[in-house]
Amino acid sequence: MKKKYRLIEDFKKHDQTTIWKHLDAMAVNYAVYSTQRDLSPFLTDYAVYLYCTDSCMVVVCLDRCGHCKEQEYAESRTLGPLIYNHGQEPRVSIVWKLAQAVKAIRNRLQIPVYGVLITEAVITNADELYSMWDSNNVMVIDDMKNMKFHYIWVNHDDDLDCKSFVDNLLSTPLQISDAECDTCSTPPTTETPPAEVNLFDEEFERLLKEFINGASTDTDEKAIDDSASSSDCKSVESPSDTADESPAEEEEETPPFPDGEIEQNPNLTVKVEVLRPMPNPREELEKLVGCTEIKQRMDELVNLTAYNQILQRSCPAAKQHAVSLHSLFLGRPGTGKTTVCKIFGSLLRQAGALSKGHVVVCDRGSFIGTLWGDEERAMRQLINLAKGGVLMIDEAYLLNSANENDPGKIVLQLLMNTLADESQRDIAIVLCGYKEPMTQLLELNPGFQSRFPNRFEFPDFTIEELLEITKHRVHDYRYRFTKKAWEKYVAVLSDAFQVRDPLTWGNARFVGNLLERIYLQHATRCVKQQVTGKSALLSLIPEDIVPIEVPRQRKKIGF
């Protein structure tokens, strides 16, 4: 029996020191289907990963609540929905929510299901609860650190038959009958909840938590109003529930995006790149390698914006905090500025600060045409394109020239006029470029400093971070390095890193170019050698690892 349900038994063996390695191993175990899914209505506020074989399933739930947030679970014999500790407000038991999800999945699929909660909280009496948790088909791994920036790989192997379990699971919302629900079976073990509850404060706190955790991406007023009278189990709607919605409401959820073309003058049309918003921007932010300070500061800005939105709905008379969305992204090429900008726009859309969340990417050439007045026409059209999203001006320092007649100076003045326009609220302008010339640009006009209060610095990646980026990108194609191939790759990248010119080094772009060369070499070898079999086709061997040219630092001549 143990061998039959080996997936569950293997998870039970792991703890704080080994669970991450085990999850990484599961991602490359092609007998196990793994995926990340939203498990509504039980675990809507948490990242959930599903692992299944043809005989059983494991549900892994991540609780990124903050390390060293000590908790004590009062239950010792039974598992209940609420935890009452002396002198503290009652709180929902995440373990109970996971156990309810496990029970609902087991009833749906009719296979053994086990839940694993990985939490940053320190559960002070965990030793007393292990047996009780296990009897409810869950286990808890607490006292974890830095979960916010830990990325979990999954394989999404559609060839596995057990994927049908996940398809079945997500076909309709999960539910559990009142007879099976443990809500009423477990009385408070230490004290009862307060007789009076301030419903306004409770609702405000719930809304704030949803915005900050990214639990809800709907920003229209109907979703906010309905939430006060709907339970958590109503957050997932069936097709029949949404059938009566009007087309106008659907259009608001998926607004039209521009095609990315402007006319500088009747004879000159210029294309600009338009990046559509991401469905899960917070998840994408956490996947980024490095950028720790950027992630933290971006979270703070988005959370403050979300707080203002909630405050406006809950208490219209309260004074809101002044928040400027205009930002500076300072760093060399390949440090992730465009990627973070796309995430930025999507996060602001989720927080309700922007109506669309798309990003319009432009540069000096997008503004400056061939005829008098092209700059003003281009500026007006680009602002209109970016309305509801982000206008990202790459290498913005190129607009600052020593030539007094340079049309770039006209663009800067027009930009200042736009920033001063109070009607231009549904837009965020982001200036990108190298730190030193961007600093000179800001000094050109004292008003620029105050108009761009959000300053994000993108440092060059370390060799360790570049190797981590490599693993992410290779995994996207489901390739795997052999041990010797990985050793050769590390040597090639390290050599390039040592001789790089810091001023022209491409950072993650260099990694992308190097991997593209390796993919071509790998494909050529597989075709010539007539390689067959899934494992061989997805394995990178030493023969595939070939270096590319590295722009070297120029030697100084003279004294």
**pLDDT digit string (tens) for the chain, length 559 residues:** 445 688 899 899 888 888 988 888 888 777 888 888 878 778 877 889 999 988 899 999 998 887 666 677 765 567 777 776 666 667 778 898 899 999 999 988 889 999 999 998 888 888 788 888 988 999 999 888 877 667 788 877 777 888 888 888 877 777 655 444 444 333 333 333 433 334 444 544 555 555 555 544 443 333 333 333 333 333 333 333 333 333 333 334 445 666 777 888 788 888 888 998 888 888 888 888 877 888 888 888 888 887 887 777 778 777 877 778 899 999 988 888 888 999 999 988 888 888 889 999 999 989 887 777 788 888 889 998 999 999 999 999 898 877 777 888 888 888 888 887 766 678 999 999 998 888 888 887 777 788 888 889 998 999 999 999 999 899 888 899 999 999 999 999 999 999 888 888 888 999 999 999 999 999 999 999 999 888 899 999 999 999 998 876 655 444 4
Q: What is the pTM of this model?
A: 0.54
What is the chain's alpha carbon radius of gyration, rounded to the nearest angstrom? Answer: 27
Question: CB neighbours (10 Å) of residue 104?
Answer: 22
Cα–Cα distance, 163 to 151 (Å, whole number)? 22
Give CA–CA dist 426/309, Å, rounded. 13
Do residues 31 and 87 make contact, with C-beta atoms less than 8 angstroms apart? no
Cis peptide before 41 (omega within 30 of 0): yes
Q: Which of 287, 392, 284, 394 is nearest to 332 (CA)?
A: 394
C-alpha to C-alpha distance for 211 and 309, rounded to whole angstroms: 9
Cα distances from 213 to residues 68, 98, 220, 254, 556, in angstroms, run 19, 18, 18, 21, 52
**Measured between alpha carbons, how far is 331 from 431 in angstroms, rounded to an integer?**
11
Residue 260 C-beta-side C-alpha neighbours within 13 Å: 11
Distance CA 419, CA 49 (A): 43
